Structure 1
């Protein structure tokens, strides 16, 4: 007698444990780690869970539920992925279920919906409202409660549904369905008997009195790939109707007569490149790039991770392409990580020119069905050799990964803040590469302080490229003191005379301009000039940002919005004035100063869709846009030949941010956006507007002195116990009752401080102390590098678990973020 099989499964929920289910005999041959199964969890809910482990150890519980269904014939999660998931859950203090939710596209995660269906009934006993519901269910057989209430149009549908459920006129069922549907297209072909040329001629002759049908038959026959084999004649339905210009009824008539057949064929949503990689090769490198490439290869012989510190416009991307080419020649896959979706538009074109359809793209602007198709292709026998994507790309199922490139490794967009796992893609990529035996190249002009520390200390290899490609000079930088300019009446709105004159000069020479303002919207807030009242969000402790284009006041934290009011809600005055400025206001005012210039804005508001990103970037690249106004998006390694001027409108926004990384991020942002300036044969110009011209960050940027800046920041970090000398764990507590939150946070901090001492800071409110109706407090734990990190994290988790088990504190939401900044 064979032993009963059991499967430990991962549910897509924030549960620390895996759950054990029994495997029915008929499913035993189908069960293996990595396949999805349908299980019942809780009272009635159904979920698609992942099989984590198969064994014969009987659980110590009274009743073990059966697995209800096996979804996959082969695993959709590989052992190497599980290994990475385990590290993520352990290091970032979250559950495997939370990692699963982040790692799989939504189309591969399924949970049940509650459906309503109708039973037997006598129409005489039904009211008009009940008949309405029965009629709707008659059309669809079953609907979710939400669908039924929306479609019914009734004022109080839930009371009617409740009454009908009690009388057993309606029934509730739980069904699980996948959101993913394979894309199909209809193709038209000749019926098999008309693949014979003689019979086809007879058919065409018989249709002399039906010229439209005759044209359709001829059009289909013309699609044969070989002249003597009409069985290969096949054409897309919509293409055929457009080409022949006939109605769908003509087509239907031919199908009904059996002359032609229509087949539904599954097709891919993945865009295929048109370039032929056989005819395209990487561009030739300059001498300093060849030296850097050789040095990278030498460093890889002794280091798994190498930092490429190359100044802006030094040609790092071309180096990446050569390294990718070498990896592919060695039969390896490559993961190319980018910090922003905006960058993929430019770089995918460059990669496609060289590697053609061997490149796959994966990011959140794709539909979920597209992401599912890329994921499944990576599991196929012919996966992509190169994946270009943002942070979520590290979760794809690589079978033979040999090289990971992390471009702009310093970018904070590689960090996932919410929800868990709150991972950093750069650090996770390094762990992934180590687990599978791949190499990692970190590339940037402005390395993160910790990354450069690791390189200088010998943990990472270090290669420098301090020349610009094609002899480009580093841009000349002018700092404008805005305080002095205002005193001298040399500011027009938010633009100095120096900047306006430089823009005019660039436009007159048919050159392009980038203006950087790290705040979107028209104005950060509206203020009553008479009483000082400022509209705030109802749910968050933050002012509402004014968006002139939509005439809306919007909260950028919870999405709450209202129309711009005509008068002050405090005193009734109509003297409401926008304060500060965002990208929308910059765009608006520039159109007054330069009415003939084509101006575009690139920020979160203007690039909601994938197509809008591509339209703006492509338009600017082709010279159709004169001035590009943007937030951080314009600072990411974009490459434009015609940009001669970059203006930074308010550097103080970044410098004055209360965060230990504020100076580092300011230096990186200003340096990166400055690097967009410069044309072949002409030095670019950067104008920085600031009220603090003598600030050390501004001095370091203007002097192109990263090394002095790094040493200064390293000394500050060591002095105040910050990374890379200490690790940080941030604990965030949220609750709708402020006093209850304060008591709970104080108790937790006291418990932690008792064992961890003075390196437990807080609780303190963050800059925005209430979001979506919940008050927020934070506790920061600093951990020395030499201290046992895992033991301390276990103590933190235990302390939180004990707190959550108490009834009076169980309602407080607690989140843990390892390496939070």
Structure 2
């Protein structure tokens, strides 16, 4: 029989797969996509098979696959093709994609725990020598891991023996993962079996006359479970307001019995489906146009103004796909958005709708992974990482807020853009893609207007609601003490008016913390991060300084360490300061903050948003989290506190990004019942972007932006690749950059800029140099090949071997 080999990827940044031999006993079990355990550098790791062949590697001694943990392949060929495309396009390795795509559970070395079945009736004479040896070892140690059995038998391949013992009923097998998945178990209480008759229950109530707390706990239990069904222990403790000691005493007396119930970690919902909303005439026209264009185009851009009801159109499209028995992936840029929309999906689709994002723990990810693979979920709502799930039959991908920069993965690799990857995923699955937004990315707008994508426009708000009244407020008009505040008189007066009318307010400041830096008024000293070339940001709540690049923290200064002056000034402002100052102006308003500092847990976004929806919060202060597709009925006023900060940024995308953020947050105003108002505070009120915003002239903005991009050669007219070289010594980083550029040489259709030292030269203790490559579409394949070879040649130079080289395709 011909010896077969498997190419296996491991969850590391290795340039190529490693080849392992397939033991004869595992030939039938090993196919592409199979999860296998292998020895690598004297440790056991889990990898995935990507190819099978009969050619032994010529450069190293081949090792054997140790085991196959699963009965079925972990991933299918379509997922492997997606992983390969991502590795090729984004210039990373398949191991890095594997590491990002698969829950940690599937990447750990698994230990199969073997136990002896106590009711086994097999005679020892019916076992061969190796089977008998395992049975004897189990009678002494009760349980053994696969590794233990390998050592007892002195061989690596033990699965056939274990399979025979399992078939004969000698052993039981359970899979354990060190540090991995365990089912979620909740403790519940039920009434003891002796007290379920009415007379016995009455008697036990009487015996507890002197144990008042126990009697009260029993009464609460009976109110919660009149039919004596199990009640959640934590809920009973909370409802009865008693200590765990009270419940323990009742357990000891046999009044309660404790049971453990295995439950899913995934959000449960009512399986009943809500009534569908009636679509307006503009929505029906947009839906009809979308369906027609999807017949000719793989991708359609749905360009609808804020509040136009794009989500209802998505739901109609999703329902048609679900009726065909296929799956739908609904991507959103922020976890905060999933909290609000998941409830709408659950109402519409019931139990077949699920949610997936990075805030879920490993155990929850496994459950969702399996549910998607087994098609228990037909509708999946998620952030960026959801597109890497193992879809069984994908029919539609919706990328909502497609313009959002959160769709781009930054660190670690793969540095993929979820929008572009979703388009490839849908195309490879024979599915269609909908890109939806009120403010398309310049690239998507260009693709749609040039005919590459379909284009559908919604120009009216739902139910004829007017667009918000948008006004510019000149910050230079502040005078006297008002200059110390970050609110103009117009903004304060409108907040007061909203308060009197019991309306809500959103204030947008795209900078978290209290103050971006503090400075000594005597000598000009300002605290710098120990690891990065940036100012430390002051956070008042904990009276500490933080670096927003590396996370370094330290206590704040109360006197200048350079000149001992106590005159330290707080410069600039962030969301924390806005919240603080606004509370001083309006002491009786309930103010909440939505930013990275305020949201610490998986449900933190949901809690803040729910409080705002329910009217428990009057004013919501936030960073760009408040700009992204949230739908609030009672918001009458939106204030943008510093438009200049958004527009005066040294980046060719500054105008696009500022326009998108301000248009999106403006769209939160007046979505229901009445016209909203937007006040944009700015010093340069004549900025062209601000004029486009107040006139709601989106097409003019994109025309101007495309003209500038074409003139100076930026996307969508070229593709960008940024290469960052990092080292603890600045000269080493810069010289490695020169070596890299020299290795690249001249390439037709490409302009290579750099290396240069960026504005922030050092981050996390490493100095950076950057190279920017502008490439035409025709030159993209060639330049990518050159980048891979130049990376290898640069790192082969002894003095640059410790330089970290990061390649970012389509940076944002």
TM-score, scaled to structure 2 = 0.85
Q: Is the deviation greater in 268-277 or in 733-742? A: 268-277
Q: Which runs of 5+ in 2 are unaligned?
A: 112-143, 146-175, 209-213
Q: Which residue of 2 aligns with 1:802?
A: 793
Q: Distance in 2 between matches of 1:316 and 1:103?
A: 29
Q: Which residue of 1 aligns with 2:13?
A: 14
Change in Cα spacing, 1:571 to 1:331, as seen in structure 2 (3 Å) is same
Match of 2:265 among 262, 269, 276: 269
Q: Which residue of 2 aligns with 1:699?
A: 691
TM superposition shift of 1:660: 0.9
Q: Distance in 2 between matches of 1:704 and 1:303?
A: 29
Q: Which residue of 2 aligns with 1:373?
A: 367
Match of 1:349 among 318, 343, 353: 343
Change in Cα spacing, 1:249 to 1:21, as seen in structure 2 (3 Å) is farther
1:307 lines up with 2:301 in the alignment: yes
Q: Which residue of 2 aligns with 1:425?
A: 418
Kindly indicate whether the alpha-carbon contact (under 8 Å) linking 1:333 and 1:402 is maintained by their aligned counterparts in 2: yes
1:326 lines up with 2:331 in the alignment: no
* SS of match in other structure, 1:70: coil
Q: Deviations over 1:438-467 (max 9, x none)?
A: 111111111111101100111100000000
* SS of match in other structure, 2:719: strand
Alpha-carbon RMSD across the aligned residues, in angstroms, is 3.2
Q: Which residue of 2 aligns with 1:93?
A: 91
1:714 lines up with 2:701 in the alignment: no
Q: Deviations over 1:558-578 (max 9, x none)?
A: 111111111101111000011
TM superposition shift of 1:433: 0.3
Change in Cα spacing, 1:533 to 1:219, as seen in structure 2 (3 Å) is closer
TM superposition shift of 1:634: 0.6
* SS of match in other structure, 1:69: coil
Q: Distance in 2 between matches of 1:185 and 1:424?
A: 39
Q: Which residue of 2 aligns with 1:125?
A: none
* SS of match in other structure, 2:512: coil
Match of 1:742 among 734, 740, 744: 734
Q: Distance in 2 between matches of 1:349 and 1:202?
A: 41
Q: Distance in 2 between matches of 1:730 and 1:817?
A: 5
Q: Deviations over 1:536-558 (max 9, x none)?
A: 00110000000000101000111
Q: Which residue of 1 aligns with 2:67?
A: 69
Kindly indicate whether the alpha-carbon contact (under 8 Å) linking 2:750 and 2:779 is maintained by their aligned counterparts in 1: no
Q: Which residue of 1 aligns with 2:674?
A: 682
Q: Which residue of 2 aligns with 1:126?
A: none
**Mapping 1:716-795, distance limit 5 Å:** 716-755=708-747, 759-785=751-777, 787-795=778-786
Q: Distance in 2 between matches of 1:747 and 1:447?
A: 38
**Mapping 1:49-60, distance limit 5 Å:** 49-60=47-58
Change in Cα spacing, 1:566 to 1:222, as seen in structure 2 (3 Å) is closer
* SS of match in other structure, 2:770: strand
Q: Which residue of 2 aligns with 1:811?
A: 802
**Mapping 1:185-224, distance limit 5 Å:** 185=186
Change in Cα spacing, 1:200 to 1:413, as seen in structure 2 (3 Å) is closer
**Mapping 1:23-34, distance limit 5 Å:** 23-34=22-33
TM superposition shift of 1:488: 8.0
Q: Which residue of 2 aligns with 1:646?
A: 638
TM superposition shift of 1:112: 9.3
TM superposition shift of 1:48: 1.3
Q: Is the deviation greater in 356-365 or in 447-456? A: 356-365
Q: Which residue of 1 aligns with 2:583?
A: 591
* SS of match in other structure, 1:610: coil
Q: Distance in 2 between matches of 1:762 and 1:281?
A: 58
Q: Deviations over 1:72-99 (max 9, x none)?
A: 1112212211111110001001000000
TM superposition shift of 1:417: 1.1
Q: Which residue of 2 aligns with 1:436?
A: 429
Q: Distance in 1 between matches of 2:470 and 2:389?
A: 42
Q: Distance in 1 between matches of 2:749 and 2:71?
A: 53
* SS of match in other structure, 1:732: strand
Match of 1:298 among 283, 292, 295: 292
Q: Distance in 2 between matches of 1:307 and 1:61?
A: 50
Change in Cα spacing, 1:507 to 1:13, as seen in structure 2 (3 Å) is same
Change in Cα spacing, 1:702 to 1:220, as seen in structure 2 (3 Å) is closer
Q: Distance in 2 between matches of 1:390 and 1:94?
A: 21
Q: Which residue of 1 aligns with 2:40?
A: 41
Change in Cα spacing, 1:705 to 1:202, as seen in structure 2 (3 Å) is closer
Q: Deviations over 1:97-123 (max 9, x none)?
A: 00011111223221599xxxxxxxxxx
* SS of match in other structure, 1:533: coil
Kindly indicate whether the alpha-carbon contact (under 8 Å) linking 2:722 and 2:807 is maintained by their aligned counterparts in 1: yes
* SS of match in other structure, 2:775: strand
* SS of match in other structure, 1:730: strand
Q: Distance in 2 between matches of 1:565 and 1:489?
A: 26
TM superposition shift of 1:350: 1.2
Q: Which residue of 2 aligns with 1:285?
A: 279
Kindly indicate whether the alpha-carbon contact (under 8 Å) linking 1:9 and 1:21 is maintained by their aligned counterparts in 2: yes
Q: Deviations over 1:215-254 (max 9, x none)?
A: 99999999999x9xxxxx9736738986999744654676
Q: Distance in 2 between matches of 1:240 and 1:366?
A: 23
Kindly indicate whether the alpha-carbon contact (under 8 Å) linking 1:551 and 1:564 is maintained by their aligned counterparts in 2: yes
Q: Distance in 2 between matches of 1:223 and 1:749?
A: 72
Q: Distance in 2 between matches of 1:224 and 1:618?
A: 29
**Mapping 1:138-153, distance limit 5 Å:** none
Match of 2:662 among 670, 673, 685: 670
Q: Which residue of 2 aligns with 1:402?
A: 395
Change in Cα spacing, 1:75 to 1:249, as seen in structure 2 (3 Å) is farther
TM-score, scaled to structure 1 = 0.85
Change in Cα spacing, 1:224 to 1:492, as seen in structure 2 (3 Å) is closer
Q: Distance in 1 between matches of 2:250 and 2:572?
A: 63
Kindly indicate whether the alpha-carbon contact (under 8 Å) linking 1:602 and 1:633 is maintained by their aligned counterparts in 2: yes
Q: Distance in 1 between matches of 2:590 and 2:277?
A: 32
Q: Deviations over 1:173-206 (max 9, x none)?
A: xx97352222234678999xx9xx9x9989979x
- The count of aligned residue pairs is 740
* SS of match in other structure, 2:414: coil
Kindly indicate whether the alpha-carbon contact (under 8 Å) linking 1:523 and 1:579 is maintained by their aligned counterparts in 2: yes
Kindly indicate whether the alpha-carbon contact (under 8 Å) linking 1:76 and 1:379 is maintained by their aligned counterparts in 2: no
Q: Deviations over 1:707-739 (max 9, x none)?
A: 111111111111111111101111110001111
Change in Cα spacing, 1:218 to 1:564, as seen in structure 2 (3 Å) is closer
Q: Distance in 1 between matches of 2:46 and 2:621?
A: 45
Match of 1:555 among 520, 528, 547: 547
1:452 lines up with 2:445 in the alignment: yes
**Mapping 1:492-511, distance limit 5 Å:** 493-511=485-503
Q: Distance in 2 between matches of 1:220 and 1:661?
A: 60
Q: Distance in 2 between matches of 1:519 and 1:274?
A: 39
Change in Cα spacing, 1:622 to 1:176, as seen in structure 2 (3 Å) is closer
Q: Distance in 2 between matches of 1:404 and 1:22?
A: 39
**Mapping 1:541-620, distance limit 5 Å:** 541-620=533-612
